[in-house]
Amino acid sequence: QIKACLFDLDGVIVDTAKYHYIAWRELAAELGFEFTEEDNERLKGVSRMTSLNILLEIGGVTLSDEDKLKLAEKKNENYRTFILKMQPDEILDGAEAFLKELKAKGIRIALGSASKNAMTILDRLQLTHLFEAIIDGTKVSEAKPDPEVFLKGAEALNVKPDECVVFEDAEAGVEAALAGNMKCIGIGSPDVLGKANMVIDGLHQMSFEKLMELN
Ligand code: B16
Ligand code: MG
């Protein structure tokens, strides 16, 4: 029996991948190499430090941990200038309506994101009130595909993992959901998210009725 939905943030509720990309690309340029949009795909759903390590590997750059921390902070400051200007029309199509529909039907809602900026984004877009629990990058020690972020969400909502459906756009996120014994709806390409129970283009294709088909 489905009682709760757990949502990833970037790529599911909002499209912040484009801002992450600009900020990482600028950092790469400063370090003297090119960082393509294709490279950026590898950073989806991945933590900030792991993202930096992937970027440095692409550029063939080796740095001390101290320098890495400084660069990660620099990238984040740049990234934050973009998210602090986000507008409500940047909420992905159908996301807010689906969250409201779930709430009206009594389905519990939590966020399960790798981002340490999740609260800033939700507050800016006035979406915070729709989530009963928010598990973000500040609350977990294990990154997806570890199920920690979603298991903590289920725990906070006081529901069992097998009563949860996770919405994810990253392969590591789908794996995390399944590893946590939850159902998963992938958002994006079936080629990448094939392990999910269902794959859709976006939350505009979702409804309470469709969710209940997973029961
Ligand atoms: P931050 P999600 C993830 O968000 C992004 O997909 C990923 O690209 C980013 O590196 C990560 O958050 C950490 O973000 O630097 O803001 O802490 O998809 O898990 O909602
Ligand atoms: Mg995501």
Is 10 part of the annotated catalytic residue set?
yes
pLDDT of residue 205: 98
Q: What is the pLDDT of residues 144-202, one digit of tens each?
A: 999 999 999 999 999 999 999 999 999 999 999 999 999 999 999 999 999 999 999 99
Q: What percent of the chain has pLDDT over 70?
A: 100
Is 65 part of the annotated catalytic residue set?
no
Task: Give the ipTM of the model, two decimals please.
Answer: 0.94
SS3 200: strand
Q: What is the pLDDT of residues 140-153, one digit of tens each?
A: 999 999 999 999 99
Answer yes or no: are the C-beta atoms of 114 and 149 closer than 8 Å: yes
Answer yes or no: are the C-beta atoms of 122 and 99 closer than 8 Å: no
Q: Is 9 a pocket residue for ligand 1 (Cβ < 6 Å)?
A: yes
Q: Is 211 a pocket residue for ligand 1 (Cβ < 6 Å)?
A: no
pTM metric for this prediction: 0.95
Q: What is the pLDDT of residues 45-97, one digit of tens each?
A: 899 999 999 999 999 999 999 999 999 999 999 999 999 999 999 999 999 99
Which amino acid residue places its CA nearest to atom 12 of ligand 1?
115
Query: Probe ligand 1: pick from 19, 71, 115, 139, max atoms within 8 Å of CB?
Result: 115
Structure tokens at 152: 């903590």
Cα(210) to ligand 1 centroid in Å equals 28
Other C-beta atoms closer than 10 Å to the C-beta of 87 total 8
Q: Is 6 a pocket residue for ligand 1 (Cβ < 6 Å)?
A: no
